Structure 1
Amino acid sequence: MADPSLTGALQYLEAQRHAQPELADWYSAFADLYQRKLWHQLTLKLEQFVRLADLAFDLSLSALLGDNVFNFGELLAHPIINSLTGTNVEWLYHILHAFNSGNLLRYQELCRVHNIALCAQPALVENEKKLLEKINILCLMEIISSRPSEDRTIPLSVIAERTKLSIEDVEYLLMKSLSVHLIEGIIDQVEGTVHVSWVQPRVLGIPQISSLRDRLDTWVGKVRQALLSVEAETPDLVACA
């Protein structure tokens, strides 16, 4: 199966081919390797054609601005993204991580620290509201995913506090997330809660995996305690029989 980043790279080059017809031969060579599933050779060929940092930058912007892209884990797992580090656009690498973890505060901090660099990117400036909505949705998904499955009835006030939105805007955020099938659930406006029955799976980062491990350890502890309780009561049950 093709790595999503290779697919994205090929799509990017296809778009460039239409803008620059002289790239047709290059694109044909890439497409041939892609069809034959020669992923390693395709990666090497791409490295010959374009500077990795430039390609990583374009792929990152495409992911951030993509209408239905809410999963950044696969992109971040690809070595090509590491080529952003140590460059003058390293801030984009950190923004991707902030989006992947739904860390709104981190995103706002990065926007403040790297304001000049961000303002030099027209696409980011023009889509400022869209980016804020996207990271708020990812923040919502992180809130849901970080809670145990038996604790998925969430007060809207909790979401409002994390996202810095009004209750009305939280309701809109939930409806948006429901409409694009990122979550499934029911909003209870009377109680001021949302019950989430499902959240779209995502590729997890190290901090998210650590959190999941901690929750699993807690669950195992509860199961062990329940087992010990049953074993302790078993002799009494046998005696009564």
Structure 2
Amino acid sequence: MFYREALRFLGCTDVESLDLSTQQSFAIDLSLAALIADNVYNFGELIIHPIFNSLKNSAHFWLYKLICAFNGGDIKTFEELQLYWRKENELLNNIHRIRRKIQLMTLLHIVFEKPTHERSLSFAYIAEQCSIPVNEVETLCMKALSLNLLKGTIDEVSQLVRVTWLQPRVLDLGQIALVSEQLKTWCTRLEDAIVFANSFGFRDSEKITS
């Protein structure tokens, strides 16, 4: 609740009117709330807010990097920063919830990186990317499904997860660039399909155009 309401408040507040210490205090509280909250799996809205940049040149720069790691599903950076986040009681007291969240964010990220026609992921691949045992993959995916973070099917026999939909979220510049590349690839595949279809000798009036 605090996270959403604080973002709404900042949405109608001139950040420049706040002194640096106040900005940093807001950014710290928002970041910790986002990490701990049960219903926050979209960090893009926080990352693109000007107040978040106040952490860059502060003693809490590690928190800035931690939020970016969650947003990008970067579990390696999450582990590398534990020297810092383990000193925060709010995070340490919720370690199991936070670890599950970074695993879920990693799952979303590896799906996001895949073109829509390649979103069948093996249990082994998910386990490796999310740093969990293979026998925990199904539980992780069921959690993502129950939270409506993605839609798809779990094939326990074939050990495959097929994803058909990802929950929309605010993207950072790197993620936008990835979507742009995926769109270019999709357009190329579409043009190739049109050329192939038209190769069957349709009359000009019947030919498919993009």
What residue identity is the alignment partner of 1:71? Answer: N
Q: 1:49 to 1:204 in 2, by over 3 A?
A: closer
Q: Which amino acid aligns with 2:79?
A: Q
RMSD: 2.6
Q: Distance in 1 between matches of 2:54 and 2:193?
A: 50
Q: CA shift at 1:84, angstroms?
A: 0.7
Superposed displacement of residue 234, structure 1: 3.1
Structure 2 letter corresponding to 1:206: L
Which residue, out of 105, 111, 124, partners 1:157? Answer: 124
For the Cα contact (< 8 Å) 1:72–1:99, is it kept in 2?
yes
Q: Which runs of 5+ in 2 are unaligned?
A: 205-210
Deviation at 1:6, TM superposition (A): 7.7
Structure 1 match to 2:180: 213
Matched, 1:130 2:101: no
Q: How many residues align?
A: 203
Identity %: 33
Greater shift in the superposed pair: 55-64 or 206-215: 206-215
Contact kept in structure 1, 2:3 and 2:34, CA below 8 Å:
no
Residue 119 (structure 1) shift = 3.2
Q: Distance in 1 between matches of 2:170 and 2:150?
A: 16
Partner of 2:208: none
**Which residue number in structure 1 is paired with residue 162 of structure 2?**
195
Aligned position for 2:5: 7
Deviation at 1:102, TM superposition (A): 0.8
Q: Deviations over 1:36-56 (max 9, x none)?
A: x99246x567x2697110111
Cα gap change, 1:153 to 1:108, in 2 (>3 Å):
same
More helix by share: 1
TM superposition score normalised by structure 1: 0.75
Larger radius of gyration: 1
CA distance in 2, matches of 1:130, 1:5: 17
How many angstroms does 1:143 deviate by? Answer: 1.4
Instruction: Give every structure 1 segment of 4 or more consecutive aligned residues whose post-TM-superposition deviation is greater than 6 Å.
Output: none
Q: Does 1:95 align with 2:66?
A: yes
- 8 Å CA contact 1:156–1:193 kept in 2: the answer is yes
**For structure 1, which runs of at least 5 residues remain unmatched after alignment?**
11-33
Deviates more, 1:174-183 or 1:68-77: 174-183
* Aligned with residue 58 of structure 1, among 6, 29, 42: 29
Correspondences of 1:112-151 after superposition (within 5 Å): 115=83, 117-151=84-118
CA change 1:220–1:190 in 2 (3 A) is same
Deviation at 1:152, TM superposition (A): 2.1
Q: Does residue 224 in structure 1 map to residue 191 in structure 2?
A: yes
- Provide the rounded CA distance (Å) in 1 between the counterparts of 2:63 and 2:115: 32
Letter in 1 for 2:5: T
